């Protein structure tokens, strides 16, 4: 049939067969055709919204009925959604826009159209396969923001129902709409049937720029079992600007809410990506046991900056956070920090992944924390809301840049720690089994990593240097600080150029193994906690800072302060600008089988009755193949050769007799070093300083000529 309008003609063709293509001619005021007629895909049908008024007096039995009998002011968005829901399942339905500039909702100074539903919310999309496309509005292509503004200021429903657009069915798309000022949520995807929906190219909570903050409570919610939905996309035109909302920009909630993807969006910024228009609490919040959701993906991340917290995961498992910029502008250089921190995994959040193995999965988590925030970490894991919360366990933080820009070289530190594994953070991993899993953690305002929780592991990271492994940036306190118990630092971390110690240990029974620890301003490692194990590390060129510091008032390659049962074994401790090892107070600290050489002020120094002031051995005789001396009863006596008076080459050990005497044989030529020294370690595990060195006599060689024997 054909229906005549005052200024244009539209032929309505009922869609019966999938082979029919329907063309809708949109008309501007005065009968001028729109920029380009929208060509629908095979089988699609469309209705065009022509008024901003919120009316429901047209025939909404179907699109065909509504086009034939619209309301008095034209076709409203409410009528279009109502008609779409009443159509039988089948081909996609498109709700387009061609509202004239004579409409009362047109803002001539800004060139957009404001639709204000109310007092009731718009009906949810229940049919499925519906597209609401604001980019079809004539003139939309020339604007830096959506031409269609859905404004919820007049919607007053029961709590939780004052929403903008609700997608309660599958395969719907919302594109090119601004959604602002709804008391509850701008766009909702809810229920198990809400699957495979897409929100793209929209402004949520903001419209015309920095002055255009018009918050919803939540920007977008995915909840109640909604799954496999997409917010954003991999093209620039798919980018959503989700900013200025009163709680979270995006909330994903519920144990059955799974496999949703957030990618390619700017969350917390103005449309130019320059100025913060933060979501008050969170850029993205994942809660209530939601799982297998993706915030970003390889090479298609979000920019999440200027919010309260960038990404908050609470009590939810197996989610991934990959490829995002969190705390910087889209240029990956300018700081637009999230106020309280970048990524938080808290209160039972477990088995989540932050980063990944490939460069494309890397997050840049930098510039977060604004004074006087009590938080301000790049990554926070542990207890946050409730004292009795479950532990945050088995989370992996891998391959990220934390405290630097996208080059990995320019400093863009987080306000406090780079990574804080706080109370109730258990068995989490920073880094991984492959060097590609290591993070760059540098130039942060406190320590690079702080371990308060238990049984966590730090492996194969660059802590205090740039991504090139050499640019000295440092963290403002320690490379790693450990106040929890049973944590492991190593293998293969590089901890260098940190302003205090490479590693400070205050907790119990922690292990530092197989790391390179160099050029830190105070000690390479300082431990005040009992039961520390320090093995197979290279600890070099540390020290040089003069100012005392309460938690570790001395400097050494390894400093042990008022601690007990420390094991320092099989390390290479050399060229430190202080003693190799200092034991100040404390008892039963063993220093065994190390290479300790060329350190300023001595190899092993005992102060304040450290290790009960155990005496070093007395070397009585050193021969080319044997050393003899007096140690202590049943002590382990370790023998070293050195160019000076330390332990540059470990030759082996023997046990002193009951009278304290010992002897140790070695092969002539085992060492080119000419001095022999030794240490005592008694049965309680106290190790002495080095004995006074004795020079090894040279072996004399004599040639004996025998007369020839004639036959």
Q: Between the CA of residue 190 and those of 225, 293, 661, what are the distances in Å?
A: 7, 15, 81
Q: What is the pLDDT of residue 397?
A: 99
Q: How far apart are CA 667 and CA 264, in angstroms?
A: 68
Of residues 98, 101, 71, the one with CA closest to residue 83: 71
Strand partners, 695: 675
Q: How far apart are CA 554 and CA 23, in angstroms?
A: 81
Contact between residue 169 and residue 193 where contact means Cβ atoms under 8 Å apart: yes
Q: What is the pLDDT of residue 40?
A: 64
Strand partners, 534: 512, 568
| 653, part of any domain | yes
Q: What is the pLDDT of residue 674?
A: 81
For the chain, what percent of residues have pLDDT higher than 70? 91
Q: How far apart are CA 636 and CA 687, in angstroms?
A: 9
Mean pLDDT for the chain overall: 92
Q: Between the CA of residue 348 and those of 320, 344, 524, what are the distances in Å?
A: 15, 11, 34
Strand partners, 308: none
Judged against a pLDDT cut of 50, whether residue 36 lies above it is answered with no
CATH of the domain at 666: 2.60.40.3110
Q: What is the pLDDT of residue 547?
A: 63
- Residue range 338-347: mean pLDDT, rounded: 98
Q: What is the pLDDT of residue 7?
A: 33
Strand partners, 664: 627
| 198, part of any domain | no
- Residue range 52-70: mean pLDDT, rounded: 97
| 676, part of any domain | yes
Q: What is the pLDDT of residue 8?
A: 36
The residue with greater pLDDT, 441 or 38, is 441
| 11, part of any domain | no
Of residues 387, 320, 314, the one with CA closest to residue 352: 320
Q: What is the pLDDT of residue 37?
A: 46
Judged against a pLDDT cut of 80, whether residue 90 lies above it is answered with yes
Q: How confident is the model at residue 699 (pLDDT cuts 50, 70, 90)?
A: low
Domain count, the chain: 1
Rg (CA), the chain: 35
Q: What is the pLDDT of residue 534?
A: 99
Query: Do you know the residue count of the chain?
Result: 711
Q: How confident is the model at residue 131 (pLDDT cuts 50, 70, 90)?
A: very high
Contact between residue 133 and residue 141 where contact means Cβ atoms under 8 Å apart: no
Nearest 10 degrees: Cα torsion 278, 281, 284, 287 = -170
Strands 649-655 and 636-642: antiparallel
Angle at 202 between CA 113 and CA 344, to 5 degrees: 140
Q: What is the pLDDT of residue 704?
A: 52
| 540, part of any domain | no
Q: What is the pLDDT of residue 359?
A: 97
| 567, part of any domain | no
Cβ atoms within 10 A of the Cβ of 396, count? 19
Q: How far apart are CA 501 and CA 317, in angstroms?
A: 35
Q: Which helix (H) or strand (E) holds 79?
A: helix 77-86
Of residues 373, 388, 384, 455, the one with CA closest to residue 422: 384
Domain that holds residue 670: 617-695
Q: What is the pLDDT of residue 383?
A: 96
| 665, part of any domain | yes
Question: What residue spans of 227-377 are helical by DSSP H?
Answer: none
Of residues 42, 41, 128, the one with CA closest to residue 81: 128
Q: What is the pLDDT of residues 563-594, one digit of tens each?
A: 999 999 999 999 999 999 999 999 999 999 99
Q: What is the pLDDT of residue 27?
A: 32
| 649, part of any domain | yes
Most confident range (mean pLDDT) of 4-18, 155-169, 202-216 is 155-169
Strand partners, 143: none
Q: What is the pLDDT of residue 388?
A: 86
- Residue range 312-324: mean pLDDT, rounded: 99
Q: How far apart are CA 685 and CA 290, in angstroms?
A: 51
- Residue range 408-420: mean pLDDT, rounded: 98
Of residues 148, 215, 154, the one with CA closest to residue 181: 215
């Amino acid at each position: 049939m054909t229906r005549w309008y005052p200024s244009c003609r539209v032929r309505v063709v009922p869609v019966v067969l999938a082979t029919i293509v329907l063309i809708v001619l949109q008309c501007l005021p005065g009968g001028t055709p729109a920029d380009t007629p929208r060509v629908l895909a095979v089988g699609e049908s469309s209705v065009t919204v022509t008024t901003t008024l919120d009316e429901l007096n047209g025939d909404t039995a179907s699109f065909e009925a509504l086009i034939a009998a619209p309301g008095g002011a034209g076709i409203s968005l409410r009528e279009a959604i109502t008609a779409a829901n009443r159509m039988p399942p089948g081909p996609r339905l498109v709700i387009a826009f061609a509202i004239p500039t004579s409409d009362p909702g047109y803002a001539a100074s800004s060139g957009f159209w404001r639709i204000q539903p109310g007092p009731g919310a718009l009906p949810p999309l229940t049919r499925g396969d519906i597209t609401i496309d604001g980019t079809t509005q004539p003139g939309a292509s020339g604007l830096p923001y959506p031409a269609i503004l859905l404004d919820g200021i007049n919607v007053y429903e029961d709590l939780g129902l004052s929403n903008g657009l609700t997608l309660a069915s599958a395969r719907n798309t919302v594109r090119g709409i601004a959604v602002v000022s709804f008391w509850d949520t701008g766009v909702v995807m809810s229920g198990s049937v809400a699957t495979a929906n897409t929100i793209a190219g929209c402004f949520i909570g903001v419209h015309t720029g920095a002055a255009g903050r018009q918050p919803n409570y939540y920007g977008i919610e995915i909840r109640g079992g909604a799954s496999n939905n997409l917010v954003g996309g991999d093209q620039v035109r798919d980018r959503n600007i989700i900013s200025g909302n009163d709680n979270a920009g995006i909330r994903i909630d519920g144990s059955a809410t799974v496999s949703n993807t957030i990618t390619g969006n700017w969350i917390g910024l103005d449309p130019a990506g320059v100025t913060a228009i933060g979501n008050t609490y969170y850029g993205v919040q994942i809660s209530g046991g939601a799982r297998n959701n993706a915030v970003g993906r390889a090479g298609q991340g979000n920019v999440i900056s200027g919010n309260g917290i960038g990404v908050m995961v609470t009590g939810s498992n197996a989610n991934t956070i990959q490829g995002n910029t969190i705390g910087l502008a889209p240029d990956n250089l300018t700081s637009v920090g999230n106020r309280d921190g970048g990524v938080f995994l808290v209160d039972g959040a477990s088995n989540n992944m932050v980063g990944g193995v490939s460069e494309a999965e890397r997050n840049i988590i930098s510039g977060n924390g604004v004074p006087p925030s009590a938080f301000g970490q790049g990554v926070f894991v542990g207890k946050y809301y409730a004292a009795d919360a479950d532990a945050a366990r088995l989370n992996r933080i891998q391959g990220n840049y934390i405290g630097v820009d996208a080059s990995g070289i320019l400093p863009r530190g987080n306000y406090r720690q780079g990574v804080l594994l706080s109370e109730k953070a258990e068995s989490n991993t920073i880094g991984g089994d492959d060097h590609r899993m290591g993070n760059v953690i540098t130039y942060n305002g406190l320590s690079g990593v702080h371990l308060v929780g238990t049984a966590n592991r730090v492996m194969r990271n660059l802590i205090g240097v740039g991504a090139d492994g050499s640019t000295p940036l440092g963290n403002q306190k320690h490379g790693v600080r450990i106040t929890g118990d049973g944590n492991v630092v190593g293998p293969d971390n590089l901890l260098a150029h940190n302003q205090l110690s490479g590693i400070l240990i205050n907790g119990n029974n922690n292990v530092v193994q197989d790391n390179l620890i160099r050029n830190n301003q105070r000690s390479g490692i300082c431990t005040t906690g009992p039961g520390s194990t320090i093995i197979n590390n290279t600890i070099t060129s540390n020290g040089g800072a003069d100012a005392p510091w309460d938690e570790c008032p001395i400097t050494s390659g390894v400093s042990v302060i008022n601690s007990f049962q420390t094991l320092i074994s099989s390390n290479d401790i050399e060229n430190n600008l202080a003693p190799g090892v200092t034991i100040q107070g404390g008892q039963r600290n063993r220093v065994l089988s190390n290479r300790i050489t060329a350190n300023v002020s001595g190899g092993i120094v005992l102060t304040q009755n450290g290790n009960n002031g155990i005496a070093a051995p007395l070397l009585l005789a050193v021969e080319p193949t044997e050393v003899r001396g007096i140690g202590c009863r049943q002590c382990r006596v370790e023998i070293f050769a050195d160019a000076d008076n330390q332990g540059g080459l470990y030759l082996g050990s023997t046990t002193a007799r009951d009278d304290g005497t010992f002897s140790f044989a070695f092969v002539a030529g085992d060492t080119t070093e000419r001095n022999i020294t030794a240490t005592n370690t008694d049965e309680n595990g106290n190790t002495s300083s080095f004995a006074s060195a004795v020079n090894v006599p040279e072996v004399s060689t004599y040639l004996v000529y025998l007369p020839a024997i004639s036959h």
